[in-house]
Amino acid sequence: MGSCLGREETKPAGAGTKAATEKDVKSTAAAPASSVNAAASAARVEKAPPPVRPKVTVTPKDQAVLDVKNGRDQLEQYRKRTDVAIAQQDQVARQLVKEGKLERAKLALEMKQLLQTKVNRADKQLRNVEKLLAEIESTALSKEIIEGMEQGNLVLKELAKDLTVERVDRLLEETEEQAQLQREIGDRLAANPLSSAEEENLERELDQLMALNAPVPAVANPSTSAVKNASNPTGEKNVSSSMSHPPIDGSAKTKAPKVAASPVPA
């Protein structure tokens, strides 16, 4: 920036305005510079946190590969420039033939041939180098994969160490026991909690209820409605008393179907 100001002085300008322009230039030159710096540092501060990614490591193998690749580059460059030289010699030979200078044309062709054999040799070398590089790459890859698999195998072994057959058997046994227990509990819960006597009573009561309901389809018959009405209260009474007096219930049960059944044939 200093030299920039120096040039400013050489610029033709009125003596009065010179100082002013110089001052101006100083501030204009400084302002963009500082703002650029500020922007750059701001960007750096913003960008600073994300690169937590590891640094790229360069191994001796990488360096060796680089050396081989550099050799390849040189061969390629050699081939390129020799190709150019061949084309030049060819051009020269053509021109000389046109001019009738056959001896010199022959020399040019000779030179071209010599270069051609060199290019062919370089091509072969190039192919060998490429082969070597491909070999290095695939071998390095195999090595990496094998190392990875070894690591994986170690982890697998570590994981399997505690996994014995006995442990699995024991686990399965325990699970089976637990399942058995669960089944029993389920059975118990599902088992009928009533005694057989109670069961009989319930059955009887159910029959009774069914008997009371049976006449309903026959309601259409007017002659039976009176009988039904008359029997209904007694039936109801029977049902309500059935809880406390099962024997009475039993007599009612035998009576009721008869009363109910009789209207149907009539």
Partner 1 sequence: MATSAFHFPAFHAFPPSYTRQPVRATREKQVSLWCDLMLAFCKHRGDFWVDMAEITQSELFVNAAINRRMKGEDVVFLFDELVNRGDAQWDVQGAGKTRCLVFWRSPAEWGDLVYTYIDRTGQNNSVMTLYELRCSDMTKGEPFHNLDLDLMLLALQSLELANKAAIFEGAKSDQLGVKFL
- Compare residues 61 and 106 and give the one whose CB is closer to partner 1: 61
Q: How does DSSP classify residue 193?
A: -
Residue 182 binding partner 1, by CB under 8 A: no
- C-alpha 228/C-alpha 71 separation (Å) is 119
Q: How many residues bind partner 1 (CB under 8 A)?
A: 39
Q: In the complex, what is the shortest distance from the CB of residue 131 to partner 1, in angstroms, rounded to a whole number?
A: 17
Nearest-approach distance from CB 160 to partner 1, in angstroms: 32
Subset of 54-73 contacting partner 1 (CB under 8 A): 54-58, 60, 62-67, 69-70, 73
How many Cβ atoms sit within 10 Å of the Cβ of residue 210?
10
Judge whether 122 and 73 are in contact, CB under 8 Å.
no
Q: Smallest gap, in angstroms, from Cβ of residue 78 to partner 1?
A: 12
> Which of 15, 16, 49, 53 forms a contact with partner 1 (CB under 8 A)?
53
151 binding partner 1? (CB under 8 A) = no
Residue 76 interacts with partner 1 (CB under 8 A): yes or no:
yes
Is residue 184 at the binding interface for partner 1, with CB under 8 A as the rule?
no
Q: How far from 205 is each of 13, 200, 210, 211, CA to CA, in Å?
A: 128, 9, 9, 10
3, 196, 240, 244: which one contacts partner 1 (CB under 8 A)? Answer: 3
DSSP 245: -
Measured N-to-C along each axis, helices 102-160 and 60-98 cross at an angle, to the nearest 10 degrees, of: 160
Instruction: Give me the half-sphere count of Cα atoms (radius 13 Å) on the Cβ side of residue 176.
Output: 6
Q: Which of 41, 77, 128, 178 touches partner 1 (CB under 8 A)?
A: 77
Nearer to partner 1, 21 or 88 (CB): 21
Binding flag, residue 139, partner 1 (CB under 8 A): no
Please give the Cα distance from 225 to 134 (Å, whole number). 108
Angle at 221 between CA 220 and CA 223, to 5 degrees: 145
Instruction: Assign 246 to helix, strand or coil.
Output: helix
Which of 31/172 has CB closer to partner 1? 31
130 sits near partner 1 (criterion: CB under 8 A): no
Query: Sign of torsion, CA 125 126 131 133?
Result: positive
Sites of contact with partner 1 (CB under 8 A): 1, 3-4, 7-8, 10-11, 13, 17, 21, 24, 27-29, 32-33, 36, 40, 47, 51, 53-58, 60, 62-67, 69-70, 73, 76-77, 137
